[in-house]
Amino acid sequence: MTRPAITCRDIQDLLGEVNAAGSALVDGHADASPLPEGPVRGRLVAAMQNLLAGLQDPVEKGLELIWQSHQNAAVRTCSELGVFELVPPSGKASLQELVDKTGADRQLLYKQLTIGKSSRWLDLHLPSLKLPEYLQRTAYGTKPDPDGFQTPLQYGENTKLDLFQWLKTKPEQFKTFNLAMESLTAKSLAGIEAYPFDTELGLNPSSTEDEILLVDVGGGHGQKVEAIRARYPDLKGRMVVQDLKEAIDEIQDAKGFKPMVHDFFTPQPVEGARAYFFCRILHDWSDQDCHRILSNTVSAMRPGHSRILILDAVLPDTGVPPLAALLDINMMLIGGMERSREQWVALFAPLGLEIVKVWAKKDVSIFEASIIEARLKG
């Protein structure tokens, strides 16, 4: 996707309009006076919307539109829980107070509040995935669904399959999904760029052409491996891309890797690779499912040699950016989640894994993520 032809000069002009409208709104008023209503405020809002429209790229704009329903769902859920009445208009309520008073699960309420806070409009349309209805059925995350639906997606689609098994029953949608994953790679390689695959993996004097350098688990059409090969053309060693049969069968021309059908809920057949790479995989799954996936990997790892690389977001403890909060809700719909560092550490601990480093590029958006490097303890 190409960016609209907006120049730095355009941005300067748009910033100028924001500043001018902002000054027209507040100049001449005392610091403590209430915000003046009227057309000048509307002018500032319009100037800021123009600036945002100029700055956002088409993918960011598209994701915002697609995920708008999550904001609606979060606002409706907060409304049904009575959260708005519990927070005084001019005051604050702590998360714990709200948990105590609503009886909702703490983690779930935090997500709804984060996204509700990011919402700029209180539109209460029914979301397509019936999230609020599902949350009611599960007593806001504190009880299992009476009919055994594990996720809002399952409830909304009346299926007991996980997202990918369900997509297998809709081949056209699965194809589109896989293509979307490819285009996200084309949009940004910042996650890949965060990790020095050459010095960390491939250019080690002991590496050989024959050894398995990297296994990309759930690697789709091989888009990430191709990007790694393009960035480091001198990397020695073999690479393997594993995925479900439906995704592997669509690979036309595998350059620089071996495609392999493999279900990551079964034991990893490639033993002793230098790296097992999970790119945007674990955020699709609950902690319990991640344990199943990772324990299949741990048993294939060679101690002191193999590592796990995870390209996913590491959420900040406070101030989660709006798009990241939306992504988190998006994952919740399918039973997954975005995780903070503390949550990653807790996820790894029972598997005997520890984080050795979180590799991240400075000033990149949450979508472009970071690479978490984990190894066997001891």
Ligand X SMILES: C[S@@+](CC[C@H](N)C(=O)[O-])C[C@H]1O[C@@H](n2cnc3c(N)ncnc32)[C@H](O)[C@@H]1O
CA 11 and chain centroid, separation: 28
- For the CB of residue 182, give the shortest distance to ligand X in the complex, in Å: 7
Nearest distance in Å: CB 289, ligand X: 9
What three-state secondary structure class fits 242?
Answer: strand
φ/ψ of 45, rounded to 5, equals -60, -45
| Closest to ligand X by CB, 47 or 281 | 281
Cβ closest to ligand X, residue 48 vs residue 63: 63
Closest distance to ligand X from the beta carbon of 280 (Å): 4
Which residues share a beta bridge with 223? none
Residue of this chain nearest to ligand X (CB atom): 218
Q: Which is nearer to ligand X, 119 or 178 (CB)?
A: 178
- Which one of 29, 70, 283, 291 is the catalytic residue? 283
| Minimum CB distance to ligand X smaller for 161 or for 351 | 161
Is residue 283 annotated as a catalytic residue, yes or no? Answer: yes
Residue position matching structure tokens 């123009």 = 50
For the record, the structure tokens of 21 come out as: 């409208």
User: What does the binding site for ligand X look like in residue numbers (CB under 6 A)?
Assistant: 164, 181, 185, 218-220, 223-224, 243-244, 247, 263-265, 279-281, 284
| Residue 203, phi-psi category: left (phi > 0), alpha (psi -120 to 50), beta (remainder) | alpha
- Please enumerate in sequence order all residues whose Cβ is within 8 A of that of 211, keeping only pairs 6 or more positions apart, or say none: 236, 237, 238, 274
357 Cα distance to chain centroid? 19
Nearer to ligand X, 243 or 328 (CB): 243
CA 29 – CA 57 distance, rounded (Å)? 36
Please, which residue, 279 or 315, has the CB nearer to ligand X?
A: 279
Distance of alpha carbon 239 from alpha carbon 142, whole angstroms: 43
Distance of CA 318 to the CA centre of its chain: 16
Please name the residues in contact with 351: beta carbons below 8 A apart, sequence gap of 6 or more. 291, 294, 295, 298
SS3 340: strand
Q: Which of 45, 55, 46, 44 minimizes the C-alpha distance to 3?
A: 55
Residue 97 and residue 38: Cα distance in Å, rounded?
Answer: 37
Active site residues: 283
